[in-house]
Amino acid sequence: MMSKVSKKKKKHRRILFLWMGSLVIISVTTFTIGKYWVEIYDKYQEKKHLSVKYTKLKEKEAILKSDAKKLQDPDYIARYAREKYLYSKDGEIILRMPESKD
């Protein structure tokens, strides 16, 4: 027969293993949840960054589409070449005026 002391030791040992097992399970669960929160936060930050980048690219796309449409007009191309590259028509004289700083 088992004595009272050995029964108490078994009971204490069982309780100790139960607490240790619970502690391990809680620790692993907490670590896993923390890891997933960090991943979610990183994805959120990346989404914010990409959203800003997307908006800028959409604006740039609109500008480029507008420029492409303008470049279909021969009058616009002629005026653009004269202003940007100082091309002139026959008999034209180009005078470059300094930009004013107001």
Any residues with CB less than 8 A from the CB of 71 and at least 6 apart, and which?
A: 77
The pLDDT confidence band at residue 35, using thresholds 50, 70 and 90, is: very high
Dihedral of the alpha carbons of 64, 65, 71, 73, in degrees to the nearest 10: -150
Single pTM value for the model: 0.54
Q: How much of the chain, in percent, has pLDDT values that exceed 90?
A: 58
The pLDDT confidence band at residue 2, using thresholds 50, 70 and 90, is: low
